[in-house]
Structures are given as C-alpha cells and as structure tokens.
C-alpha cells in the first residue's frame, strides 16, 4: 500500500473514531436514571408509574384505580371511560391489559386537568398573514370555541364581519358573525366580542394546522384572540378528585355509578 | 432484577425460535430450487416476514386466531424439524463477529423490556394494532374504534404480537424482533463477504453497526423495520441476482405490508435492480428460463402488492385513502401548484445529512471514488446508487404532494422517511470499501474492480496483459 493511501486510511479511521466518540459518549439520559434502582428493574408496574405518572403526565396510577373500580360495574371488557388530557389525546388506554377500545361517555376521567381547563380561557392570539387573513395556531385539543375578541382602531365602518374557517384548505366558513360597529360608540381603540351562541362544539381534535379568520369591515385590526373551553363538562358532575386528576359521571347516570364513587373514595382512605 | 432477566430471556428466545423455524423452510425451499443457502441473518428475516405476513393475511381474511396460531406454529415446527434432519452447509457467524454486537444487543433488549411504548401517535399507530390482534378484533372494525390511521398495513405489528403472545410477556418486550432484524441484516452483510478477512472491512462493519443504529429502529415505529427490510431485499438481489428474481420480487413486495410507502420502496428496488443492467434485456428475451423467471417474479410481485388493498376492500376500508390526510390519489392533481416547496424540502434534506456526517461523508467518499474517471461502476453498486437516488426523489415527492400542513409534516416525517434508505447507503459504502480494501484473490472475478480496460486485461486475461485491446 502506498504511503498516501496509508495516511488516507489512518485519517479516515481517526475521523470515524472521533465521530463515534461524540455520538456514543456515555451520557445516560435522565429518563434512564432509575435503571440503577433494582425495584424499577423488577416491577413493570413501577416502570409504568415512573414513565406515565400517578396523575401527570399520563395518569397511569389514577386511571388504573378508576378502571379497576369501573370494571367491577361495567361487564363489557371492551368499554372504558372517556379519558381527557389538557393537551391532546394520549391514548393511554393502550397501556391497559386488556385494552379497552370503546369509550363510554357516561364516565369521564380528567388527567392533569386544572379548574381553568374546565372554564372559558384564552385559546390563542392570531397572527396576521400577508394575505390579510388571521391565523391561530393551537397545539392542543379543545372542546368549545366560545368567542372571538377583536381589537381595532376607530374608523368609519358600520359593520365588522368575521368568518371562521376550520383550516386553510376549507373554502366555506364554519361560522360567520357580524358586529354593529356604529352602536359601540367608543373613540380610540375598541374591542368587539363575537360570541358563538351556542359555542362551536368539538372544535379541534388532532388538527395541527392553524384555523383561519377573515375580518372584513374596513377597520384597522390590532389583535384577534380566541376563547374556548378545553374540556366541556356540561352534563357531568365531578365525583372524585385526586390532585389534578378527577372522575366525573354523567348527571343522568349518577345512580348507576354510585358504587364507583364509593370505591374511589375508599381508595383514598 | 429477576423479572427483567426472565422477560428478556423469554422474549428473546421466542423472537428467535418462531421466525428462524419458518426461515429454515425458506432455506429448504431455496435448496430445492437449486439456489444457494440464505445466511443465518437472511434466514431470520425471511422467517419473520413470513410469520408477520401469515398473521396479517389470516387476520385480514377473518380466520380464527386458533387457526392462524396453529398455521404459524406448524410452519415453524416443520422448519426446525427439517433443520435438524438435514445438515446445512450454512455460514454461521463466528465468535469474533458476534462479540462486537453483544453490547448493542444487550442494551437493545434492555430498552425493549424496560421502556414502555411512548404515548406518541407515531408509535401508538402500531401498538394499537398489536392490541387489536390480542383481542383478534376484525379488520373491518378498525375504522370504528378510533385508532390512528386504520388504513395502514401491519405486518410488523403482527410479528410483534406473535412474539408477545407466544412468550406471554408484556407488550413492549415484543419489540425485540426489530432489534434482531437490524442485527440480522449486519450479520447477513458480513456473511456474504465470508472470504474477506480484512481487518479494515471488519472495523468499518462494526462502526456502521453502531452508527446506523437509532432508537427509532426498536421503539415500535416501523420505519426502522422497513429500513432493515429494504436492506435485506437489496442484499438478496446482490446475493442471488437475476435468477433469484422469481422469489425476491414477491418478497420485495412484502415491504408494502409493513408500511404503505413500502410498496414504492419495493418498486424502486426492483426497478433499480433490473435497470442496473439494461444490456441484459436482449439476453433475457432470448432465454426461456430467464423470461419465465421474470414473468413469475412479476406476477408474484403484483400479487403480493395487491394483498393489502384487497384486504382493505374485503373489510370495508377505502384503499384509495392511501396515507391518511397526507396523500390521496387525487393529490396528484395539484402537483404544479405546490412546486414552490422544493427549496424548503432540499434545505431540510441537506440539514438532515449535515447532522449525520458518519453516513454522509463515507457515502459521498464512496460515490467519489466510484465515479472518478477510469473507474467502472459494477452492477451491484449501480443498483445501490440508483436506489439511493430514487428513494431520495420519492421522499421529496411525498413532501411535494402532502396534504398535511407542509412545514409540520416535513419536520415530523422527513427523518423517519430518510431512515428507510440508510442501510442501502451503508451497503454502497461497504461494497465500495470491499473493492478497495480486499485483496484481489479473495474476490470472485465478477466483483473485482475494473478501473481501466488495461487493468481489466490484467485481471481477466493475465497472459495478455500487454495487449492493446480496447473495450
């Protein structure tokens, strides 16, 4: 082998070794720190609780307790309560054995949900695009869109029209509302409320693209803000709470789930 | 600790025994056809694909779980019986080959057993299918149960379920099959070069075993499995060549049962293999055996490709809904309006490879030394290079046509899609390195480098090395 080839081979080998060293440096991610704990190695249940939590982030411990009580009352092996999170559907039911695919709306389990997630709150502010449309990017699911707030400078327009599109690709608005600008009677910056009556239900599940607002009327718009409810609890009553996790049952089926409530309360004692 | 060791052992044993048994059936069949034996690594993959395909087919056709389990168990048992009755002259990996893989294997098994499947859609798509197979829920109900992308095929999940179910181990442990497939690929690559003793080639091989690895391969997502399977099909073409087409082509089409885009990946593999030697067309046309091999191979290829759409139709799913919201047949109609996406796609691909110099640099170096004036690309490398180019084009086309939000889809899916071609890139590097580093006497005459007509004369006709014949 010629000298230059030897040098080339040595150079390539050193380069590979360096890259390998950097890539495989022995830094153990935090996720695997408990591996040193023998209890963690010997119990799958502990591992699931470690990764998915008692209540947050995925509520494995709490869900397991609810499901144990639930399965004593509900004979079907395929049914489970509706499970709701503050951000998106984590499908934690796949963790359970047997897996229950059929959601039973008469029981709702909230995981890592605070009181504010059950009330109207700001969903997001819109950003104005070059095409004059307003887009609101939301990275989580929510049940209800209750209102849109528009702030504008004063102008001469009589009406302000708002059109809401579920996504960029939709050609037809899912909601149109008009505000009578002339009756507001304010000078300077003004705020208009476009209230959806009734609220727009099941507004956003699993969509990743922004929803789009068109505001017409000749006014200079400063800010557009959407308000909604992450988890709509209308028709449900919370019967058990543990930190940021809770169980709620449908009002009309409360009697059926009395035993569930007792069992969960008993588990707390 | 004991529980961890017990699950690891059972899951590993079950993941090896079932597929290897079916793999021995393949070995017997290939021997019967007069072909060379598959290597142990190839054997494993052939068996695993067959196990997954049998379960998917049986489940999709509505057969009972007991019948499907009996079929798979019988096939595996028959394979093992044949293996024990016959004395195969098969290449087995030596201790020095296996030892460097042990740390990766142990860490990988540990990961599969200890780390539950993450609550991300990308993994849950496949976990959901394993769970549905546990209950043997009919494919026709997939659409009603709110699972993610009910239209996706699930060969990998079927093999995963088999491992979990037969071993009676927690569901996450079944993912060891994906680790074993990855390792089997590298064992098969080295076994093909059994006469190569070059220490540099061995070091390169070990480097790439670790460098190409990613948790994406074993965390339950299927692109890693598709990557290893595409590599195996490429390897099968390299090993068995044109005459193997009669069974490699249908096998390649099996990629479509792992993921939807596997259909295109398999098509690229087949097109690149036959396109890598256009001059053979006339020979094939003139030769009856070659013609038949190609004909039966094509029929098998199309038949296997048709399995998943047929099962979808049979179970009331819509085969035209190819890839959720990302791609529908009608997406083709809007190609021109989305052409402005190309710069962003190219930037993202460039960034992806810039962040992975351990594959990019060796690959570019291999391309450079293969394409220098005077070098002649042999068929094997033309095939591999063609695949890499067309696969890249395919990935670009996906993002060109996608109906998902473009930036989001590009960021979420590009790394996984590019992963699918990684092992073929490695194969190209490895084949080039073999040619450069291996002494000529350790190679077959057909694989020797032919840098120039003069050199070819020395290699092929030693006694006429000084002739001025031109080619």
Over the stretch B390-432, which tens digit does the pLDDT of each residue have? 999 999 999 988 888 888 889 989 999 999 999 999 999 999 9
> Quick one: average pLDDT of B54-68?
96
Cβ of B1 within 8 Å of Cβ of A38? The answer is yes
Exposed/middle/buried for A269, CB within 10 Å: 0-12, 13-18, 19+?
Answer: exposed
What is the CB-side half-sphere exposure of residue A166 using CA atoms within 13 A?
A: 12
- Is the CB of residue B119 less than 8 Å away from at least one CB of chain A? yes
Cβ of A101 within 8 Å of Cβ of B146? The answer is yes
Cβ of B145 within 8 Å of Cβ of A102? The answer is yes
Q: What band does B349 get if pLDDT is binned at 50, 70 and 90?
A: very high
CB atoms within 10 A of CB A37: 11
Per-residue confidence (pLDDT) for residue B470, from 0 to 100: 32
Q: What band does B459 get if pLDDT is binned at 50, 70 and 90?
A: very low
* Whether pLDDT at B92 is above 70: no
pLDDT higher at A188 or B269: B269
Q: Which two tokens stand for residue B374?
A: 């005077």
Query: In Å, how far are B23, B31, B91, B229 from B37, measured between CA atoms?
Result: 11, 6, 9, 18
What confidence tens digit (pLDDT) does each residue in A7-37 have?
776 677 667 766 666 666 556 666 666 666 7
What is the CB-side half-sphere exposure of residue A238 using CA atoms within 13 A?
A: 16
Query: Per-residue b/e over B396-422, b at no fewer than 16 CB within 10 Å?
Result: bebbbbbbbbbeebbeebbebbbbbbb
* Whether pLDDT at A40 is above 80: no
* Whether pLDDT at B322 is above 70: no
Per-residue confidence (pLDDT) for residue B235, from 0 to 100: 96
Q: What band does A175 get if pLDDT is binned at 50, 70 and 90?
A: very high
* Whether pLDDT at B460 is above 50: no
Please check whether residue A142 is in contact with residue A203, taking contact to mean a CB–CB distance below 8 angstroms.
yes
Q: Which of B116, B119, B403 sits opposite A47 (nearest CB)?
A: B116
Contacts of B148 in chain A (CB under 8 A): 91
Rounded Cα gap, residues B105 and B109, in angstroms: 6
- Is the CB of residue B207 less than 8 Å away from at least one CB of chain A? yes
Task: Considering only CA atoms, give the Rg of chain B.
Answer: 22
Q: What band does B331 get if pLDDT is binned at 50, 70 and 90?
A: low
- Is the CB of residue A16 less than 8 Å away from at least one CB of chain B? yes
Q: What band does B463 get if pLDDT is binned at 50, 70 and 90?
A: very low
- Is the CB of residue B147 less than 8 Å away from at least one CB of chain A? yes
Contacts of B116 in chain A (CB under 8 A): 47-48, 51-52, 95
Per-residue confidence (pLDDT) for residue B458, from 0 to 100: 47
Per-residue confidence (pLDDT) for residue A12, from 0 to 100: 72
- Is the CB of residue A14 less than 8 Å away from at least one CB of chain B? no
Q: What band does B471 get if pLDDT is binned at 50, 70 and 90?
A: very low
Rounded Cα gap, residues A164 and A136, in angstroms: 11
Please check whether residue B61 is in contact with residue B311, taking contact to mean a CB–CB distance below 8 angstroms.
yes
Per-residue confidence (pLDDT) for residue B298, from 0 to 100: 94
Q: What band does B466 get if pLDDT is binned at 50, 70 and 90?
A: very low
The mean-pLDDT minimum among A150-164, A234-248, B195-209, B278-292 falls in B278-292
> Quick one: average pLDDT of B211-235?
94
Please report the sign of the dihedral spanned by the C-alpha atoms of residue B354, residue B358, residue B363, residue B364. Answer: positive
Closest A-chain CA to B145 = A101
Per-residue confidence (pLDDT) for residue A118, from 0 to 100: 93
Rounded Cα gap, residues B103 and B111, in angstroms: 12
Cβ of B203 within 8 Å of Cβ of A95? The answer is no
Q: Which two tokens stand for residue A89?
A: 């559907």
Per-residue confidence (pLDDT) for residue A31, from 0 to 100: 67
Q: Which of A32, A90, A208 sits opposite B119 (nearest CB)?
A: A90
> Quick one: average pLDDT of A230-252?
93
> Quick one: average pLDDT of A222-231?
93
Q: Which two tokens stand for residue A200?
A: 């727009």
**How large a percentage of chain B has pLDDT more than 70?**
87
Q: What band does B32 get if pLDDT is binned at 50, 70 and 90?
A: confident
How far does Cα B167 stand from its chain's mean position? Answer: 25
Chain A, window 61-100: residues with a beta carbon less than 8 angstroms from a chain B beta carbon: 78, 90-92, 94-95, 97-99
> Quick one: average pLDDT of B275-284?
78
> B96-100 — which CB contacts under 8 Å span 24+ positions?
B97/B187, B97/B190, B98/B187, B100/B206, B100/B209
Rounded Cα gap, residues B423 and B217, in angstroms: 12
Give residue A188's region: left, alpha or beta (phi > 0; psi -120 to 50): left
Average model confidence (pLDDT) for chain B? 87
Per-residue confidence (pLDDT) for residue A56, from 0 to 100: 86
Cβ of B358 within 8 Å of Cβ of A38? The answer is no
Nearest C-alpha neighbor of A198 from the set A246, A151, A159, A232: A232
Per-residue confidence (pLDDT) for residue A167, from 0 to 100: 82
Query: In Å, how far are B67, B352, B394 from B62, measured between CA atoms?
Result: 10, 42, 34
Nearest C-alpha neighbor of B301 from the set B259, B267, B276, B260: B267
> A163-169 — which CB contacts under 8 Å span 24+ positions?
A163/A213, A163/A214, A163/A216, A164/A200, A164/A211, A164/A212, A164/A213, A165/A211, A165/A212, A165/A213, A165/A214, A166/A207, A166/A211, A167/A207, A167/A209, A167/A210, A167/A211, A167/A212, A168/A135, A168/A209, A168/A210, A168/A212, A168/B405, A169/B403
Cβ of A23 within 8 Å of Cβ of B358? The answer is yes
Please check whether residue A244 is in contact with residue A112, taking contact to mean a CB–CB distance below 8 angstroms.
yes
Question: What backbone phi and psi angles, to 5 degrees, belong to A211?
Answer: -90, 160
Q: Which two tokens stand for residue A26?
A: 């022995």
Chain A, window 164-193: residues with a beta carbon less than 8 angstroms from a chain B beta carbon: 168-169
* Whether pLDDT at A238 is above 50: yes
Chain A, window 104-163: residues with a beta carbon less than 8 angstroms from a chain B beta carbon: none
Q: What band does B467 get if pLDDT is binned at 50, 70 and 90?
A: very low
Q: Which two tokens stand for residue B109?
A: 């098994």
The mean-pLDDT minimum among B26-40, B89-103, B105-119 falls in B89-103
Chain A, window 30-49: residues with a beta carbon less than 8 angstroms from a chain B beta carbon: 31-32, 35, 38, 40-44, 47-48
Closest A-chain CA to B120 = A90
Per-residue confidence (pLDDT) for residue A10, from 0 to 100: 67
Please check whether residue B349 is in contact with residue B356, taking contact to mean a CB–CB distance below 8 angstroms.
no
> Quick one: average pLDDT of B137-158?
91
Per-residue confidence (pLDDT) for residue B462, from 0 to 100: 40
The mean-pLDDT minimum among B71-75, B271-275, B337-341 falls in B337-341
Per-residue confidence (pLDDT) for residue B330, from 0 to 100: 60
Please check whether residue A169 is in contact with residue A161, taking contact to mean a CB–CB distance below 8 angstroms.
no
> Quick one: average pLDDT of B72-77?
96
Per-residue confidence (pLDDT) for residue A158, from 0 to 100: 75
In the 3-class helix/strand/coil scheme, how is chain B assigned residue by residue? CHHHHHHHHHHHHHHHHHHHHHHHHHHHHHHHCCCCCCCHHHHHHHHHHHHHHHHHHHHHCCCCHHHHHHHHHHHHHHHHHHHHHCCCCCCCCCHHHHHHHHHHHHHHHHHHHHCCCCCCHHHHHHHHHHHHHHCCCCHHHHHHCCCCCCCCCCHHHHHHHHHHHHHCCCHHHHHHHHHHHHHHHHHHHHHHCCCCCCHHHHHHHHHHHHHCCCHHHCCCCCHHHHHHHHHHHHHHHHHHCHHHHHHHHHHHHHHHHCCCCHHHHHHHHHHHHHHCCHHHHHHHHHCHHHHHHHHHHHHHHHHHHHHHHHHHHHCCCCCCCCECECECHHHHHHCHHHHHHHHHHHHHHHHHHHCCHHHHHHHHHHHHHHHCCCCCCCHHHHHHHHHHHHHHHHHHHHHHHCCCCHHHHHHHHHHHHHHCCHHHHHHHHHHHHHHHHCCHHHCCHHHCCCCCHHHHHHHHCHHHCCCCCCC
Distance from CA of A209 to the nearest CA of B (A): 6
* Whether pLDDT at B218 is above 60: yes
Closest A-chain CA to B130 = A94
Q: Which two tokens stand for residue B400?
A: 């060109």
Q: Which of A24, A94, A208 sits opposite B131 (nearest CB)?
A: A94
Please report the sign of the dihedral spanned by the C-alpha atoms of residue B310, residue B315, residue B317, residue B322. Answer: negative
Please check whether residue B395 is in contact with residue B226, taking contact to mean a CB–CB distance below 8 angstroms.
no
* Whether pLDDT at A43 is above 50: yes
Q: Which two tokens stand for residue A254?
A: 């409360």
Q: Which residue has tokens 């411990």?
A: A61
Please check whether residue A120 is in contact with residue A229, taking contact to mean a CB–CB distance below 8 angstroms.
yes
Please check whether residue B254 is in contact with residue B261, taking contact to mean a CB–CB distance below 8 angstroms.
no
Cβ of B145 within 8 Å of Cβ of A41? The answer is no
Query: In Å, how far are A109, A230, B101 from A114, measured between CA atoms?
Result: 13, 10, 48
Query: In Å, how far are A212, B105, B146, B290, B326 from B157, measured between CA atoms?
Result: 38, 21, 18, 36, 22
pLDDT higher at B251 or B96: B251
Sheet holding A175-180, edge to edge: A127-128, A134-136, A211-216, A159-165, A175-180
What confidence tens digit (pLDDT) does each residue in A79-120 have?
999 999 988 888 888 888 888 999 999 999 999 999 999 999
* Whether pLDDT at B2 is above 50: yes
CB atoms within 10 A of CB B98: 13
Closest A-chain CA to B169 = A44
Cβ of A41 within 8 Å of Cβ of B404? The answer is no
Per-residue confidence (pLDDT) for residue B292, from 0 to 100: 85
Sheet holding A79-85, edge to edge: A79-85, A102-111, A245-250, A236-242
Per-residue confidence (pLDDT) for residue A220, from 0 to 100: 84
Question: What backbone phi and psi angles, to 5 degrees, belong to A162?
Answer: -120, 130
> Quick one: average pLDDT of A48-69?
92
Exposed/middle/buried for B103, CB within 10 Å: 0-12, 13-18, 19+?
Answer: exposed
Total-model pTM = 0.86
CB atoms within 10 A of CB B27: 25
Nearest C-alpha neighbor of B22 from the set B128, B177, B175: B177
Q: Which residue has tokens 């990629």?
A: B255
Per-residue confidence (pLDDT) for residue A265, from 0 to 100: 85
Q: Which of A90, A99, A208 sits opposite B405 (nearest CB)?
A: A208
- Is the CB of residue A24 less than 8 Å away from at least one CB of chain B? yes
The mean-pLDDT minimum among A108-112, B191-195, B267-271, B343-347 falls in B191-195
């Amino acid at each position: 082998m010629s000298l230059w080839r030897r040098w080339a081979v040595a150079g390539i080998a050193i380069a590979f070794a360096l890259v390998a060293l950097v890539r495989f440096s022995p830094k153990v991610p935090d996720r695997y720190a408990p591996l040193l704990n023998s209890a963690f190695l010997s119990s799958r249940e502990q591992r699931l609780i470690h990764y998915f939590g008692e209540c947050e982030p995925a509520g494995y411990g709490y869900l397991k307790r609810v499901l144990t009580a639930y399965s004593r009352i509900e004979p079907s092996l395929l049914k489970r309560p509706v499970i709701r999170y503050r951000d998106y559907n984590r499908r934690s039911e796949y963790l359970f054995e047997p897996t229950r695919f059929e959601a039973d709306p008469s029981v709702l389990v909230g995981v890592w949900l605070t009181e504010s997630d059950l009330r109207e709150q700001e969903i997001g502010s819109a950003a104005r695009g070059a095409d004059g449309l307003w887009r609101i990017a939301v990275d989580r699911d929510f049940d209800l869109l209750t209102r849109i707030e528009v702030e504008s400078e004063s102008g001469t327009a009589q009406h302000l029209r708002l059109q809401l599109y579920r996504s960029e690709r939709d050609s037809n608005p899912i909601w149109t509302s008009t505000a009578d600008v002339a009756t507001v009677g304010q000078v300077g910056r003004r705020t208009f409320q476009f209230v959806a009556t009734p609220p727009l239900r099941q507004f956003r599940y699993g969509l990743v693209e922004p929803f789009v607002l068109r505001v017409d009327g000749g006014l200079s718009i400063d800010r557009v803000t959407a308000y909604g409810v992450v988890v709509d609890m209308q028709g449900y009553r919370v019967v058990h709470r543990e930190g940021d996790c809770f169980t709620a049952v449908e009002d009309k089926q409360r009697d059926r789930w009395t035993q569930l409530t007792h069992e969960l309360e008993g588990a707390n004692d | 600790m004991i529980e961890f060791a017990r699950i690891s052992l059972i899951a590993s044993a079950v993941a090896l025994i079932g597929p290897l048994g079916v793999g021995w059936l393949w070995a017997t069949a290939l021997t019967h056809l007069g072909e060379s034996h598959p290597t142990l690594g190839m054997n494993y993959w052939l068996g695993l694909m067959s196990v997954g395909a049998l379960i998917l087919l049986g489940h999709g056709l509505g057969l009972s779980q007991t019948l499907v389990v009996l079929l798979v168990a019988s096939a595996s048992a028959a394979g093992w019986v044949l293996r024990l009755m016959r004395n195969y002259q098969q290449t087995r990996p030596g201790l020095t080959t296996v030892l460097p893989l042990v740390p990766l294997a142990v860490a990988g098994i540990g990961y599969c057993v200890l780390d539950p499947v993450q609550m991300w859609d990308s993994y849950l798509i496949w976990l959901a299918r394993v769970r549905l197979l546990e209950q043997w829920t009919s494919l026709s109900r997939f659409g009603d149960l709110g699972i993610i992308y009910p239209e996706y095929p699930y060969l990998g999940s079927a093999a995963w379920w088999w491992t979990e179910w037969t071993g009676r181990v927690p569901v996450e442990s079944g993912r060891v099959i994906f680790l074993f497939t990855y390792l089997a690929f590298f064992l098969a690559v080295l076994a093909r070069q059994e006469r190569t003793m070059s220490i540099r080639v061995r070091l390169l091989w070990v480097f790439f075993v670790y460098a190409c690895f990613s948790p994406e391969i074993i965390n339950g997502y299927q692109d890693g499995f598709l990557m290893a399977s595409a590599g195996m099909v490429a390897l099968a073409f390299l090993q068995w060549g044109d005459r193997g087409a009669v069974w490699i082509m249908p096998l390649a089409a099996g990629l479509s049962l792992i993921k939807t885009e596997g259909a295109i990946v398999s098509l690229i593999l087949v097109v690149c293999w036959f396109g890598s030697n256009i001059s053979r067309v006339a020979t094939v046309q003139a030769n009856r055996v070659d013609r038949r091999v190609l004909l039966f191979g094509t029929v098998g290829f199309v038949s296997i490709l048709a399995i998943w759409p047929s099962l979808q139709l049979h179970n009331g799913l819509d085969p035209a809904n190819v890839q959720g919201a990302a791609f529908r047949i009608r997406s083709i109609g809007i190609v021109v309006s989305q052409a402005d996406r190309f710069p962003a796609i190219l930037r993202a691909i460039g960034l992806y490879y810039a962040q992975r110099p351990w594959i990019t640099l060796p690959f570019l170096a291999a391309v450079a030394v293969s394409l220098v004036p005077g070098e002649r690309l042999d068929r094997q490398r033309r095939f591999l290079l063609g695949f890499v180019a067309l696969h890249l084009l395919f990935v670009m086309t996906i993002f060109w046509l996608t109906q998902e939000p473009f930036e989001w889809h590009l960021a979420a899916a590009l790394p996984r899609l590019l992963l699918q071609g990684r092992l073929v890139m490695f194969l190209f590097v490895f084949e080039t390195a073999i040619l450069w580093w291996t002494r000529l006497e350790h190679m077959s005459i057909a694989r020797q480098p032919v840098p120039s007509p003069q050199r070819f004369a020395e290699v092929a006709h030693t006694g006429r090395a000084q002739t001025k014949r031109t080619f």
